[in-house]
Amino acid sequence: MGESVDSFAVSDDYRALIERLKQRVRAAQARAAQAVNSQLVMLYWSIGREILTQQQVSGWGDDVVGRISADLTADMGGARGFSRRNLFYMRRLATLWPDPEKVPPVVAHIGWSHNRLLLDAFTDQPDVYAWYAAKASEQRWSRRELEAQIHLRLHERQGAAVTNFAHALAPADADRALQTVKDPYVFDFLDLAESARERELEQALIDDIQRFLLELGSGFAFYGRQKALLVGEQEFFLDLLFYHHTLRRFVVIDLKVGRFEPEHVSKMNFYLNAVDEQLRVGDDRDSVGIILAAGRDDTVAKLSLHRVSAPIAVSTWQTDASAPDPHELAELEDVRARLVERITHHRSASTKPLG
């Protein structure tokens, strides 16, 4: 006869069993919640499509939406979700994708509150909408995190760094690596003086490591700061070292408070060789370097990376999400110079003595 519950000795095998059972329950709960959410989003799409079609056929104005809201809420026992405002969101979703076959599956993989946020931001940009929906689903962003990434224009920054990935990595690896880098990186959570040094920037990023990791993106795990590497009889220190679980590569970040200079590449190349020699194990792949500078000349950066075999990205960083793009500043300066030249020429011509 087996042991009674009271006298049962809790073993490691028993604890492992309980953990496995809990994982199964949680996984089933997550799948059920996802299924319910998907059905809800597609229900809302179909309601929006019905309203939109009937308005077009009958020539009804928007006032009818308020009446539909009142009747649905009353007839469905006071069910939530049918407010006038929410019905307009449903109609906007159907306007964006009138054909049910064209609705991207990822739209149903995120919550309705996430979809409302995207409808406000990208009503007439279905491709960008779907891009953020995919990112939100893949990285499990909360509504607040999604809102922050929209505000920071992630879709314009991701993959925009100057890199040599195309010739330093295999095509599939190059594309994946490119999607892990941005330009610029926005550290709007920092409060740095203009005269801040690189070590102060480094410290500020580590002090708010959670937000720093969010800006870096998914897959990054913090490995160390000022990681020491002994090469020969000399000791070298890496500003920041991460491991990227998806890429299966170490990622070395070198921080610069000034503009990018060509010599930064040779230094990073040396760091990557040292990391690969001393830290790589098993099926780890070649390490990747990201040089984060306060400014960059694209032509200089591209030429600096030419013929360099180690995968390196040159990106910029800023602390203000609304800071103007360096290229826009250059164009504005060029326009300003031409205006000054024209004004000067006009003045000199108008002050010439009459013959």
What does pTM read for this prediction? 0.73
pLDDT score, position 328: 47
Please give the helix or strand (H or E) that residue 228 lies within, else none.
strand 220-231
- Name the residue with higher pLDDT: 294 or 321: 294
Q: What is the mean pLDDT of residues 185-205?
A: 79
> How far from the centroid of its chain's Cα atoms is residue 221's Cα?
16
For 12-151, CATH gives: 1.10.10
Q: Where in the chain is the domain with CATH 3.40.1350.10?
A: 157-319
Q: Which two tokens stand for residue 221?
A: 């795990």
Query: Across the chain, what does the average pLDDT equal?
Result: 86
Q: Is it the case that residue 96 has pLDDT exceeding 60?
A: yes
For 157-319, CATH gives: 3.40.1350.10
SS3 of the chain: helix, strand, coil, percent, to 5: 55, 15, 30
Is omega for the bond preceding 184 within 30 degrees of 0, making it cis?
A: yes
Reported confidence tier of residue 273, pLDDT bands at 50, 70, 90 = very high
In residues, how long is the chain? 355
d(CA 56, CA 122): 23
Taking the CA atoms of 51, 52, 54 and 55 in sequence, report the sign of the dihedral they define.
positive
Percent of the chain, pLDDT > 70? 86
Burial of 94 per CB tally in 10 Å (0-12, 13-18, 19+): buried
Across 210-219, 225-234, 295-304, least confident range: 210-219
Reported confidence tier of residue 335, pLDDT bands at 50, 70, 90 = very low
- Per the listing, tokens 């309705």 go with 112
pLDDT digits (tens, 9 = 90+) for 137-194: 988 899 999 999 999 899 999 999 999 999 999 999 999 999 999 999 988 888 776 6
**Within 10 Å of residue 124's Cβ, how many Cβ atoms?**
9
φ and ψ at residue 230, rounded to 5 degrees: -95, 115
- Name the residue with higher pLDDT: 347 or 300: 300
